[in-house]
Structure 1
Amino acid sequence: MNYSTLKKGLAVSFVAAIGVTTLASAQTDSTATSSSAKTFGGRGQFRTWSVGVNGGVLSPFLAIGGSNDFSNEDVNLGYGVFVKKQLGNAFGIQANLFRGKVSGTNKDEPNGTQFGTTSFKTSIGYAADISGVVNVATVDFLRRANSVNFFITAGYGLVAYAPKVTYADGSVVDWKGHAGDDRNNKYVKEAYIPVGAGVKFKVSDRVAFNLGYTMHFIDSDNFDGVYAKGTTKDKFSYGYAGLEFSLGSKNKPDLEWVNPLAIMYDELKDPSLRQEVEALKTRVTNVEKSVEDLKKDSDGDGVSDQFDKCPGTPAGTAVDGSGCPLPVPVAAAPVSNLTGFETIQFEFNSSVLKTDSYPTLDKLSSVLRENGGKALVKGYASSEGTAAYNLKLSKDRANSVKTYLVNSGVNASQVTTKGFGEANPIASNDTEEGRIQNRRVETSRN
């Protein structure tokens, strides 16, 4: 094959690919829409599998230089396939398989020979490796969608090859079918380490055009059939172009081409999220206002204005939990027989007092402080959970009421608590409405 013609053909292909991908990039930028993917939503939101084919030039020389058993390279074609799993925006695992031939000569050496050889041609039966692929500079601060990705690769593999060497005297030794210790294997098999780099152009939502260069470092000195330098290892390179096809649902974006910044921007600008934030701000404002209202006590009777049913009581007047003056002492005797204060309700699986129970508890506290006597606090629970757990929960609820009364000035000895668990329901536990009523504390005075 004419080397100059090959180079021109590759150059033309490269320029054409750049033109196509530039147009695709412009279309991608102008028609980009918000992605349905969410930050930290997992790989399931994306397409992560792809397959590809490639072809290119195999050479016994490396771009980084180094020693070689032959002074001149020949140009040979190689071809391969691969499967890739994208694990993240910037990293994937790729399985590669390729074949081809690598050859070289000593035509520029004196007498056209070196180490007693004039040329070699090595057939690669297969070269298979697993490599990590790292995308470089995948986060784009200027555009929503990337159309060009640079990548580097490194991995570990196994190559099966058969060298054919021509010596200075014209004799030819072909290792194919004569490899191995018993000289009866078709190929020599050695481990190798592939290290490479390349650039990838997004042609469409499903197709990418790849250009790459990989150096293969073989763990032996017989790839070219010459044991010339005992401590050196042979190597070869593969410059290629190819196509990659993304697999999976068309409704999902390709993880490799996703810009994480665009996802975060779309999520922060989501109208429903902004509505939730605004609603939360309103709720916080209302809570803050309620707290301030709870603190305000204009007449100084110990009952906040929000619950004070008798505002403006004179200073020093004894009031009940509603802020109204207590009955005169002559009415105390009947009061001592009061029973049946309102029921205190609780949230599911909670023993925390709700604010709407404070007026009832303040009233009971006022009666106990002014008239003495004792109160019985009975806690109950709905039927969710185990009986043992519900018994403990009912006791906790009763104790929450006692704690409130004691903190308001009632002597602890005046309050007796008891938990009944799921017993004595006042409504059916088969409905949520009934269970809500059963999550309660009943207080009575005797």
Structure 2
Amino acid sequence: MKSHLKKASLLVTGIMVGGKLMAQTPDTTGSSSNYAQPFSGDLRTWSIGIHGGLLSPYTFIGSMGNQDFRSPHEQIGYGAYIKKQILPSFGLQADFLRGKVEGGAAQLTGSGNQPSSFSTDLNWSAALKAHFTLANINWRNKKSFIQPYLGVGSGVVAYKSTVNYADGTSATTTDKDRHEFFLPVEAGFKINLGPSVNLDLGYQVNFVNANSFDGYNYGDNNDRFSYAHVGLEFSLGKSSKPQMATYNPVNSMRTEYMNLTQNLQGELDAQKAENQQLRNDLNTTNANLAKLTQDSDGDGVFDINDKCPNTPSGTKVDGSGCPLAKPEVKVYVTEEDKRVVRDAIKNLEFDFGKATIRSTSNPSLDRVAQLLVNKNFSLKLAGHTDNVGSDAANLKLSKDRAEAIKAYLVSQGANPSRIEATGYGESQPIATNKTAAGRQQNRRVEFTLY
């Protein structure tokens, strides 16, 4: 018994280590390895498996007291299968099984040489099973790490039985394999080790349609045996495609919905960005158009065509924005105009030695300013002094007095560009500087109207 358990332990350990090594293959497909577009059929449906475990006449269904032999002796069994997954929860599986089933403590039927144990060589068994995968439908997880399963089917078992008797003799039931119909029922679960490898742990009860599987007939019950196994399942096809047996269709539908939502949001964001760019382009175009139609100085000519910008308001301009030349008007100086100028000269007084105009001179100067405004005359002011003082001081004083008169006339509205103020100092006397009267005549400002 201990040797059989040791063999079974070594077998299980070998299979699990092999599965662990196979599972070390890196999953290059990332988180999308168990995703396929719903209803696309882009899934792996074929798989093969190998397994090994313990064969025993004991089953958890019923009692050993009702079987031909009451003491199970576990033996090593092994097998393989090929499976076609039709739906995520349903597939068809073709099984092969081989091994040995042994037991002792026979149910005695009377006196004489009674059987003590049996040994049945299970040369092969072949069965077709319906395989139901459970708990692979989940809204939250892409796939379950563990997939429980149930299986039921039918097939043929080929065996040869040997019965050992109390006196040490043995007898084989037949020289050739006996073939009987049997019904396998199994339960177990698979653990995902990688995108293409699953660890298979299961327990199978096999109901043989005969009472001769153990080579000994006792009572009316058909024989049965069990098979507890551990194995590896390998999914066939590209590892980038998910296995249908571990595939979660409802989660893929959820993923598809989320992907579609994300894509739609991306398209919406892209459309918003495009609309914003169009708005920016439109604003730029409007700004450029505004520049093309801008008239900063209000002369009726757009800035882009205005060759004379900043024209004073109200100025008439030509097509290029430049002021129109005013028609030249010929001005005639009348005797009355000359009289106004003479009065201004006659009444002009300054503070002694200064360029300050006395207020008594203002009325006559106001009339000269009005004359300049009304008739747009030009006026030349020439300042003169006597010879008292230095030449430089006299030159400066004559210039300052002429400028003072110009400043006053401008303050009354005269055009400064039509008034010229010049100082000559003592260089142009009109009388002698030896007498007070002569010096008085030389201290003057001459007005030349034109």
Q: TM-score range by the shorter chain?
A: 0.5 to 0.7
Shift in Å, 1:33: 2.5
Matched residue, 2:414: none
Is 2:148 the partner of 1:150?
yes
1:130 maps to which of 108, 128, 131: 128
Quick one: structure 1 residues 18 and 253, their matched pair in 2 at CA, closer, same or farther if it must change by over 3 Å? closer
TM-score, normalising length from structure 1?
A: 0.53
> Does the Cα contact within 8 Å between 1:70 and 1:114 map onto a contact in 2?
no
Matched residue, 2:50: 53
Matched residue, 2:117: 119
Is 2:1 the partner of 1:5?
no
Quick one: structure 1 residues 20 and 259, their matched pair in 2 at CA, closer, same or farther if it must change by over 3 Å? farther
Q: CA separation in 1, counterparts of 2:133 and 2:160?
A: 34
Q: CA separation in 1, counterparts of 2:80 and 2:90?
A: 19
Letter aligned with residue 179 of structure 2: K
Deviation by residue 1:22-57 (Cα, 9 ceiling, x = unmatched): x98xx98x941276622222x3x1010011111111
CA RMSD of aligned residues (A): 3.5
> Does the Cα contact within 8 Å between 1:135 and 1:152 map onto a contact in 2?
yes
Deviation by residue 1:176-195 (Cα, 9 ceiling, x = unmatched): 42xxxxxxxx1111100000
Letter aligned with residue 184 of structure 2: P
Letter aligned with residue 238 of structure 1: Y
The structure with the larger Rg is: 2
Shift in Å, 1:140: 2.9
Matches for 1:323-338 after TM superposition, within 5 Å: none
Is 2:260 the partner of 1:261?
no
| Percent of pairs with identical residues | 31
Quick one: structure 1 residues 78 and 97, their matched pair in 2 at CA, closer, same or farther if it must change by over 3 Å? same
Secondary structure in 2 matching 1:150: strand
Q: CA separation in 1, counterparts of 2:266 and 2:240?
A: 29
> Does the Cα contact within 8 Å between 2:33 and 2:195 map onto a contact in 1?
no
Letter aligned with residue 195 of structure 1: V
> Does the Cα contact within 8 Å between 2:12 and 2:52 map onto a contact in 1?
no
Matched residue, 2:91: 92
TM-score, normalising length from structure 2?
A: 0.52
> Does the Cα contact within 8 Å between 1:98 and 1:126 map onto a contact in 2?
yes
Unaligned runs of 5+ in 2: 272-450
Unaligned runs of 5+ in 1: 178-185, 283-446
Q: CA separation in 1, counterparts of 2:17 and 2:223?
A: 35
Matched residue, 1:270: 259
Shift in Å, 1:116: 2.3
Q: CA separation in 2, counterparts of 1:54 and 1:85?
A: 17
Secondary structure in 2 matching 1:128: strand
Q: CA separation in 2, counterparts of 1:114 and 1:64?
A: 32
Letter aligned with residue 251 of structure 1: S
Secondary structure in 2 matching 1:155: strand
Deviation by residue 1:208-266 (Cα, 9 ceiling, x = unmatched): 1111110000111000111111x210001111111111111233211111112321122
Secondary structure in 2 matching 1:241: strand
Is 2:92 the partner of 1:102?
no
Q: CA separation in 1, counterparts of 2:76 and 2:112?
A: 25
Is 2:65 the partner of 1:64?
no
Is 2:205 the partner of 1:207?
no
Quick one: structure 1 residues 38 and 239, their matched pair in 2 at CA, closer, same or farther if it must change by over 3 Å? same
